[in-house]
Structure 1
Amino acid sequence: FVSPWAIQLSFPAWFLHSTSPPIFLPLPQNEMQKLSPGVDVKSIPPTGPAPIVLSLQDWIKVTPSWERLTAAIEADTEVRDRLGWVREMYAFSLALVETGIKVELRTEGQSPFIAHLPGQAGLGEAHAFHYTLCTIYKTMDGGDAWGFDKRFYTEPQHALELTRIPPMPEFEAGKYKFVEGPPVTLEKHNAIKQMIDQINKGMDLAVPLPEAAKARAF
Structure 2
Amino acid sequence: SVSIRVFKRPKVFCPKNKKKKNLSIAGVEKNLPTLSSSLAPTPTDSEEEDRLIEPVIQRHENAKNSKYHVALTATDAPYSQWQCRIMYYWYKKVKDMPGSDMGKFTRVLHSGTADNLMEEIPTVVVDPLPGDLDRGYIVLNRPWAFVQWLEKATIEEEYILMAEPDHIFVNPLPNLAHGNSPAGYPFFYIIPAENEKIIRKFYPEEKGPVTDIDPIGNSPVIIKKSLLEEIAPTWVNVSLRMKDDPETDKAFGWVLEMYAYAVASALHGVRHILRKDFMLQGELTYGKIGEWRFDKRSYLNGPPPRNLSLPLQEFLKIRLVKMVNEATANIPGWNTLTSGEMKNRLKIFLTVAGMDECSNSEVGNGDPLGP
Which structure would you say has the larger RCO, counting Cα contacts within 8 Å and 6 or more residues apart? 2
Structure 2 Cα separation of the partners of residues 203 and 115 of structure 1: 22
1:102-157 residue CA offsets vs partner (Å, 9 max, x unmatched): 111012xxx1x3123xxxxxxxxxxxxxxx5125146xxxx73312122332x3x2
Q: Which residue of 1 aligns with 2:65?
A: 2
Is there any run of 5+ residues in structure 1 with no aligned partner, and where? 19-25, 117-131, 172-183
Structure 2 Cα separation of the partners of residues 75 and 56 of structure 1: 29
Q: 2:285 touches 2:295 (CA, 8 Å); kept in 1?
A: yes
Q: 1:198 aligns with which of 323, 327, 335?
A: 323
Q: Which residue of 1 aligns with 2:297?
A: 151
TM-score by length of 1: 0.65
Q: 2:332 aligns with which of 207, 210, 215?
A: 207
Q: 1:136 touches 1:147 (CA, 8 Å); kept in 2?
A: yes
Structure 1 segment 93-132 matched on structure 2, within 5 A: 93-107=262-276, 111=277, 113-116=278-281, 132=282
Structure 2 Cα separation of the partners of residues 201 and 65 of structure 1: 40
1:19-47 residue CA offsets vs partner (Å, 9 max, x unmatched): xxxxxxx6211111112222421111110
- What is the total number of aligned residue pairs between the two structures? 165
Q: Which residue of 2 aligns with 1:120?
A: none
1:73 aligns with 2:242: yes
Q: 2:284 aligns with which of 134, 150, 159?
A: 134
RMSD: 2.9
AA in 1 matched with 2:196: Q
Secondary structure of 2:292's aligned partner: strand
Q: 1:148 touches 1:165 (CA, 8 Å); kept in 2?
A: no
Distance 1:149 1:82, change over 3 A: same
Secondary structure of 2:293's aligned partner: strand
Structure 2 Cα separation of the partners of residues 207 and 59 of structure 1: 35
TM-score by length of 2: 0.40
**Superposed structure 1 runs of 4+ greater than 3 Å apart:** 1-5
Structure 2 Cα separation of the partners of residues 210 and 105 of structure 1: 38
Distance 1:147 1:210, change over 3 A: closer
Q: 1:44 touches 1:93 (CA, 8 Å); kept in 2?
A: yes
Is there any run of 5+ residues in structure 2 with no aligned partner, and where? 1-63, 67-157, 159-177, 342-371
Identical amino acids, percent of aligned pairs: 22
1:48-93 residue CA offsets vs partner (Å, 9 max, x unmatched): 1001110101111111111110111122222211211100000000
Q: 1:16 touches 1:27 (CA, 8 Å); kept in 2?
A: no
Q: 1:57 aligns with which of 202, 216, 226?
A: 226
